[in-house]
Amino acid sequence: MTNGRPRVLVLGGGFAGVGAAQNLKHAKADVVLVDRHDYHTFQPLLYQLATGLLETTAVGHSLRDLLEHHDNTSVHQASVTSVDLAAREVRFDELDPLTYDYLVFGLGAEVNFFGTEGAAEHAFPMYTLPHALHLKDHLIERWEAADRDASLIEDGALNIVIVGGGPTGVETAGALAELYRHDFSKDFPSVTADQARLILVEAGPELFAMFKPKLREYAAKALTDRTVEVNTGALVESVSPRRVTLKSGEELKAHTLVWGAGLQGNELVQSLGIELERGNRIAVGPDLTLPDHPEVYVLGDVAAITDAKVKQVLPQLGSVALQSGEHAGEAIAHRIAGKEAKPFEYKDKGTMATIGRGAAVVQMIRGRTLTGRKAQVAWGTVHLALLPTNEDRAKAVVDWAGTAFTHQRAGRITVPADERETG
C-alpha cells in the first residue's frame, strides 16, 4: 500500500501491459508501469519499418504519451531483473525494488534460435524496434556496397534467406520482395532479379500451418508470383556473415538471414520457480491469475491462456495480449472497488496475414475465409484498431496511402549509428 492505496505494478508496456494500465485509469490505486524501453512497440508492423514502408514513430509510441492523462499512473524505464512472488517484490537494474499489491506480468516473448549455430551472432530477428531498424540499415548498406563493388553481388551480398513459414516469415518475405522488385530495382537498375534472390526456408511441408490448405496454397503462389523462392521441408543448420548452410548440406550465398521462426517466453519466467508450459509460457487460470497467487496476473505472449470455449491454448497474438491486458486491468479495478471479477472471455477476430499489395489471407472462427483485396482490407481494419492512438492510425494510413499511389518507400534511408554522435 502507498498512501493507503494499493499499488498495481505493471511489468511490460506491450499490448498486455498497456491494455491493463488503460483500464486502471479510474481505479483507486497507484499504478506503476515499468518497461526496459520508453516506448510501446507495435510488433505486427515491424516488417513495414524494416522495409521502409512506415516511419519509426508509426511503430514505436511513447509510453508516457499513451498514459499521460492517467493521474494515478507513473512510468519508469528500467529492466526487470527478478520477481520474488513470496515477498511480493520486483527488482530492477537501475531502479530501487518495488513491492506490489497486484502484479501484472506482461513481459512478452523473445526470439528462439533453437540452438542454430551462428544464428544468435549473425541472424536478423524481427521482434523489436531495434531489430527492424538494424535490418533496414544492413540491407541499404549491402546494396550501396554492391553498387560500389559489383563483385559483392556474385558473393550473395543482395540475397536474403528468410527463415520461417509462419506469419512473421511470410509477411517479411512479401514486403522484402516489394522493396526489392519495386524500389531497389529502380534505385539500382543494373541489378537483375536473379542477382538479388529472396529464399524462404520452412522446416515443415507447407507454409502457414495454422491456415486452411487453400489459404496455404494461395500464400505460396502469392510469394512465388513476387519472385520469392519457397523452400519447404528444409532446415537451416548454420549461419555465418556471408553463408547459410542447410541441413541437406546445400550452402546458400547470402549476407542476410532474417529469422522469423520461433519464440519463447521471456527468460525471466525461469526465475519465478513455477512449472512452465511449452515455449516457456506460464499457465494461468480462467481469471488470468497464477495458481496460488490471485494477486498476480500473467498476460499476453508469456501466458498460456486456455480458451474456455474451445479448450485450446490461445495463440501469441496482439489481440490476445490486448484483450487479456484489458481484462486484467478491469478485474483489478473491480477487486479494489470490492466487486467480483469475471473470468476472461476471448473474442476471436480471425487469424490473418498480409503477403503484399492486394494479397492477404483471413480465416474466421466459423471457417469462413477471405483472400486478396478483401482480406487486405480486413487485415488493415483489424490492425488499425490495434494501434494505440488515433495519431498512430493516421500516420499508418498516410504512409500506406502514399506508397499505394507512388510505390515509393520514403523510409529507405539510413543514418549510421556511428555518425549520430559526431553529426
Nearest approach, Cβ of residue 198 and ligand FAD (Å):
17
- Residue closer to ligand FAD, measured from CB, 85 or 146: 85
Instruction: State which residue, 32 or 321, has the beta carbon closest to ligand FAD.
Output: 321
| Sites of contact with ligand FAD (CB under 6 A) | 12-17, 34-37, 41, 43-44, 46-47, 79-80, 106-108, 126-127, 167-168, 266, 268, 300-301, 316-319, 321
Q: Give strand pairing partners of 31.
A: 8, 73
Q: Which of 24, 10, 12, 11 is nearest to 341 (CA)?
A: 24
In the complex, minimum distance from the CB of residue 128 to ligand FAD, in angstroms, rounded to a whole number:
7
In terms of CB distance, is 42 or 184 closer to ligand FAD?
A: 42
CB nearer to ligand FAD: give 75 or 196: 75
Cβ proximity of 350 and 370 under 8 Å: no
Distances in whole angstroms, Cα of residue 3 to Cα of each of 28, 34, 72, 93 = 11, 20, 12, 26
**Closest distance to ligand FAD from the beta carbon of 137 (Å):** 17
Q: How many CB atoms lie within 10 A of CB 39?
A: 19
**Contact (CB, 8 A) for 160 and 198:** yes
* Residues linked to residue 34 through DSSP beta bridges, in sequence order: 11, 76
Query: How far from 16 is each of 40, 178, 189, 329, 330, CA to CA, in Å?
Result: 11, 32, 45, 10, 12
- When the beta carbons of 24 and 80 are compared against ligand FAD, the nearer one is 80
Q: Which single residue is written with the C-alpha cell 501469441?
A: 316
Instruction: Report how far residue 194's alpha carbon sits from residue 159's, in angstroms, rounded to the nearest whole number.
Output: 9
Nearer to ligand FAD, 10 or 157 (CB): 10
Q: Among residues 12 and 118, whose Cβ is nearest to ligand FAD?
A: 12
Quote the distance between the C-alpha of residue 49 and its chain's center: 12
Min dist. Cβ of residue 321 to ligand FAD (A): 3
Residue nearer to ligand FAD on the CB measure, 1 or 385: 385
Task: Of 376, 404, 363, 2, give the one whose Cα is nearest residue 212.
Answer: 363
How many Cβ atoms are within 10 Å of 10's Cβ, its own excluded?
32
Least distance from ligand FAD to the Cβ atom of residue 382, Å: 8
C-alpha grid cell, residue 153: 553481388
Q: How far apart are CA 177 and CA 199, in angstroms?
A: 10
Give 133 or 153: the residue with its C-beta nearer to ligand FAD.
133
Please state the closest distance from residue 60 (CB atom) to ligand FAD, in A: 10
CB of 138 to ligand FAD, least distance (A): 17
Nearest approach in angstroms of CB 90 to ligand FAD is: 9
| 3-state SS record for 26-59 | CCCCEEEEEECCCEEECHHHHHHHHCCCCCHHHH
Of 43, 315, 317, 353, nearest to 167 (Cα)? Answer: 353
Least gap, CB of 359 to ligand FAD (angstroms): 14
**To the nearest whole angstrom, how small is the minimum distance from the Cβ of residue 291 to ligand FAD?**
20
Tell me whether residue 43 or residue 159 sits nearer to ligand FAD (CB atom). 43
**Alpha-carbon gap, residue 85 to 88, rounded angstroms:** 5
Taking the complex as a whole, how short is the minimal distance between the CB of residue 281 and ligand FAD, in angstroms? 10
Exposure string of 307-336, with b = 16+ CB inside 10 Å and e = fewer, is beeeeebbebbbbbbbbbbbbbbbbbbebb
